[in-house]
Chains A and B, each alone.
Chain A
Amino acid sequence: MQKTYLFRLFRHSKAGFLFVAGFIIFYSIVFSKKMDMMFFPYNNMYAIDFYHSSVATTYGMKINGQLVKFTKNLYWKKDLLETSLNAYCRYLEHGNKVFMEDYIASKFKGDKQAFLLKQLTPSRESVQNWPYWFANAAGYDLKPSDGIEFMEYRFNMADGRALCTDSSVIFKTNWR
């Protein structure tokens, strides 16, 4: 007992003990309520099979009909471009809304809601430039009047082959 971490910490520093004990209690409550996203590390990683199939969805952006490629970049940039593109396409599919907009709308009302929406979700104006940032970061030049398309692709991987079974245009416009 006397060798345990919490006991030693208690003997050394009451404030330190209270902080650690408080953290453990709070984290346990959060964790027991399956709110594993409450703190940064993703404990629940790959514990849930959301789709129950070998059909996978991915997104792409085209400039004048040409696919913007990014998988040859080094890991972090590839990851940033891939996940950011996925999130942006889901934003377009979801009526120009991020997940947090629905969450705040369901939990808060009035002034508090307006303030949180302003601070915790991207404004329409700030999002407008995202295609330019993405193209630029991937090494492509996006010029005014260039045609841009956001695509959704479905792959079937069940037979040990990557078969693109379907694709659809999510959003299409000309760059201003």
Chain B
Amino acid sequence: MQAATSNKNISMALRVICYLLLFEYLLFIISGASFSYLQGNGFFSIEVDPVSWGFYLLGVPQFITSHPWASVSLDIITVTLLILFSRNPFNNKIAIPLFLLLLLFYVTLMGHLAHHNYQFGYCLLLLPFMFKETINRNFAYDAVRYFALFFYFSAGLLKITGNSWADPAHFSHLVSGQFTPYYLEHNTGFRTMVNLYFSGLPKPGYVLFLLSIILEIAALIGFFTKKFDTWLCVFILLFHFGNWLLMDIGPWGQVAFVCFVFSRQKFAD
């Protein structure tokens, strides 16, 4: 009886994350940045990234953005698959095409944003579910978790090896350019007020910058134990929402993923 109750709770937690993933994709549509909205936009600029090259060499993003029926269809198919995935996350026949579609969306959007976004979690989350056998899924889950840990840890490490941690004005210089379109449009408020404070006063910003490096480096703990995963999840989410507040870099696209990789121990399948 106790086991049955436990399993029910476990699947519910995973379901919530699946719905969160669906919500994150719906945010792309609602805000106006999904496949359909890229239609008619023939300008793109990609970087030296073999995955992007693969899709662009095949001409897939170019085809989608120049054919309205293709972009609208892809949005409909993606949302449908996300709903089906939320209902049955362990069906890899849904997860595989969904992963490919979301990867295609990521590559297409990045091409049109003309820069890399760190919000890649909505795609990586699906990787473990592409495997049918539970044991394979668990191995894939661990691999994705290690990759996420490496991603955050290396971000901190590069700030140390690049010596930016030693520059008290580093953060204040970075935030200076984050809200300029808001000032240009006179669309100011609480966040721009905070931005002005940190742009003008390097020292408080430096403290925050050092804290963020410590937080990123703390991801290293996750390589040795899963005991602190809940705390890592909370701090990384705080870090992302803090980034939105201070630097106008939204966490959406990464939230479901962070919740998934750092709380998977509570799920069972």
A binds B: yes
Q: Cβ of B181: which chain A residues have Cβ within 8 Å of it?
A: 58, 60, 70-71, 82
Contact A49 B32 (CB under 8 A): no
Knowing A51-B173, A76-B252, A164-B183, the reply to whether A38 touches B43 (Cβ < 8 A) is: no
Tell me the minimal C-beta distance from B100 to chain A in angstroms. Answer: 14
Q: Which residue among B42, B117, B146, B200 has the maximum number of chain A CB atoms within 10 Å of its CB?
A: B42
- Of B12-20, B50-58, B69-77, B81-89, the segment with at least 4 beta carbons within 8 Å of chain A is B50-58
Q: Cβ of B215: which chain A residues have Cβ within 8 Å of it?
A: none
Give the CA-CA distance A70 to B179 in the complex, in Å.
Answer: 12
Question: Which residue of B47, B179, B252 contacts A75 across the interface (Cβ within 8 Å)?
Answer: B252
A contacts with B: majority SS: mixed
Tell me the minimal C-beta distance from A56 to chain B in angstroms. Answer: 4
Contact A36 B200 (CB under 8 A): no
Tell me the minimal C-beta distance from A175 to chain B in angstroms. Answer: 15
| In the complex, B90 has a CB within 8 A of chain A | no
Knowing A37-B47, A47-B158, A99-B45, the reply to whether A76 touches B32 (Cβ < 8 A) is: yes
Q: Cβ of A109: which chain B residues have Cβ within 8 Å of it?
A: none
Chain A interface residue number, banded: 35 or more
Q: Which residue among B51, B182, B247 has the maximum number of chain A CB atoms within 10 Å of its CB?
A: B182
| In the complex, A18 has a CB within 8 A of chain B | no
Binding site for B on A (CB under 8 A): 5, 8-9, 12-13, 16, 20, 31, 35-49, 51-58, 60, 67, 69-80, 82-84, 86-88, 91, 98-100, 103, 116, 119-123, 125-130, 132-134, 136-137, 153, 155, 157-162, 164
Binding site for A on B (CB under 8 A): 27-28, 30-33, 37, 40-51, 53, 56-57, 59, 62, 66, 106, 109-110, 112-118, 120, 135-136, 139, 142-143, 146, 151, 154-155, 158-159, 162, 164, 167, 169-170, 172-174, 176-177, 179-185, 187, 192, 196-197, 199-201, 244, 247, 250, 252
Nearest 8 interchain pairs by C-beta? A160-B200, A126-B42, A87-B114, A74-B31, A56-B177, A58-B180, A76-B33, A77-B32
